[in-house]
Amino acid sequence: MPRPYGEPLRPQFHFTSAKNWLNDPNGMVYHDGEYHLFFQHNPQGVEWGNMTWGHAVSKDMVQWQQLDHALLPDENGTIYSGTVIIDRKNAAGLNRGNEPAMLAFYTYATKNPGCQALAFSHDHGRTFTKFKNNPIVPAISPNTDRDPKVFFHEDSGRWVMVLYVDQDHTFAFFNSDDLINWEKMSSLEGYFECPDMFALPIDGDPENTCWVLHGADGVYQIGSFDGKTFRPENERRLKMDHGKNFFASQSFNHMPDNRTVQITWMRGGNFPGMPFNQQMGFPCELTLRSTHKGPRLFRWPISEIDSLYSNVSTYEDLPLQEGFQNPLFAHVDDAYDIECTILPGTAREIGFGIHGRVFSYDVEREQFHHHTEAKVKFGPIDGKLCFRFLVDRASIETFGAEGLVSITESVLFSPNYRGLDLFVRGGEAKVESLQVRSLNSIWESTT
């Protein structure tokens, strides 16, 4: 019997529950030196069901400690996704002395129609008490409305809840002064589940800020928000991530450094024979940057990943010639952070082999082909192609064009090949810089 967290398919730097099923991240919040990750969890088995809020805490969003379950089903139903906020101004009147309450907003789901409820904690999320006057938002439609996202809107001075209304596939926007009584203000059609919403400065300019709204599939729009109504700047909806396993991502509330950091569920992973099932994506910082097509979201792994680096290999000014070449042949490990900048030169194709999976870039068409045969288009930046790969035992997260493109994939690798390749076809190219960083396990202190 493998030791806990020592199983052969256990991801080494992506969060997984100690055992049983995991899906949507919930209630991500920073408070008093701790990052809290709540998550959909089945305490009774490795398949979806019996939805409960699991709970883990971290000092750096990298090393996680799983705690006892935070919210368990009761006579009102199972516990679907939602949000946690810190009520520093005691808007709900639930604080205890000088200690602000941690408030969890969630969906009661089993007994249709679903409704929205509240729970509160006075011990940093270790235990929660369910609000005696639940529900705080009764059912709107005959289906299970769900996944409340709650945050404070500074300009209007009111609390906002964005809620998925299942019957007509809309996001409904509510306002409240006390976090208990909510009034519907507007709605927006065409979104599905797990809303998230946040404001970001364009190119870091605090005087030029836009709002971003997205659903569970990562499709997003950029626009303005007055606390009541979201107004997209155009009708076109954009993809935050192009991978088949990116779903139900959420960002942290109350970040201490004004970053917007997101974690996604890697939906659809495969972990045969393991006591756990499913994994989270690695935390990524989100920024808005100007492009020739307008402002776009960029996703990039948080800098805290460098705490896991070991055996860093650096290559510079490395020529790549026609035919198969492999400057990476000596690297055989479970987990990597690989970052590469290439001058494409006359090459027609630039390729990477990662544990037997091939990723290639068509220079003429400016298309990146990953092993699932999907094609993602992005061009060079200042004449340079930038790639980054986070490689774990059961996933590859790819980033291109400094984070303009990301591809989140759960992958069950062949145990027979654990190597890395880099090659060009149809001409010559040059590696300006390449770093291959082996990653230590986040579970070393747990096992």
Query: Would you kindly state where each structural domain of the chain is located, as residue ranges?
Result: 20-279, 308-439
Do 87 and 153 contact (CB within 8 A), yes or no? no
Element (H, E) at 248: strand 246-251
Please report where in the chains the tokens 């490395």 appear, as a residue. 318
Spell out the per-residue pLDDT of the chain, length 447, in tens: 566 799 999 999 999 999 999 999 999 999 999 999 999 999 999 999 999 999 999 999 999 999 999 999 999 999 999 999 999 999 999 999 889 999 999 999 977 678 999 999 999 999 999 999 999 999 998 888 999 999 999 999 999 999 999 888 899 999 999 999 999 999 999 999 999 999 999 999 999 999 999 999 999 999 999 999 999 998 889 999 999 999 999 999 999 999 999 999 999 999 999 999 999 999 999 999 999 999 999 999 999 999 999 989 899 998 988 866 666 655 677 899 999 999 999 999 999 988 888 899 999 999 998 765 668 999 999 999 999 999 999 999 999 999 999 999 999 887 777 778 888 999 999 999 999 999 999 997 665
Structural tokens at position 323 = 């035919």
What integer pLDDT is reported at residue 372 of this predicted model? 59
Residue 325 is predicted with a pLDDT of 63
Q: pTM of the entire structure?
A: 0.95
- Calculate the CA 198 to chain-centre distance: 14
| Fold of the domain spanning 20-279 | Tachylectin-2; Chain A (2.115.10)
The CATH number corresponding to 308-439 among 3.40.228.10, 3.40.50.1110, 1.10.10.350, 2.60.120.560 equals 2.60.120.560
Angle in degrees, CA 173, 284, 397, rounded to 5: 120
Alpha-carbon span 224 to 43, nearest angstrom? 40
- Starting at the edge strand that comes first in sequence, how are the strands of the sheet with 101-108 ordered? 79-87, 101-108, 115-121, 129-130
Closest CA to 247 of 219, 269, 266, 263: 266
Beta strands at 261-266 and 284-291: parallel, antiparallel or unpaired: antiparallel
Report how far residue 90's alpha carbon sits from residue 414's, in angstroms, rounded to the nearest whole number.
53
Residues annotated as part of the active site:
24
Q: Tokens representing 202?
A: 């364009």
Please, what's the b/e burial string for 348-385 (b: 16 or more CB within 10 A of its CB; e: otherwise)? Answer: bbbbbbbbebebbbebeeeebbbbeeeebebebeeeeb
CA dist 213 and 222 (Å) reads 7
Confidence (pLDDT) at 106: 98
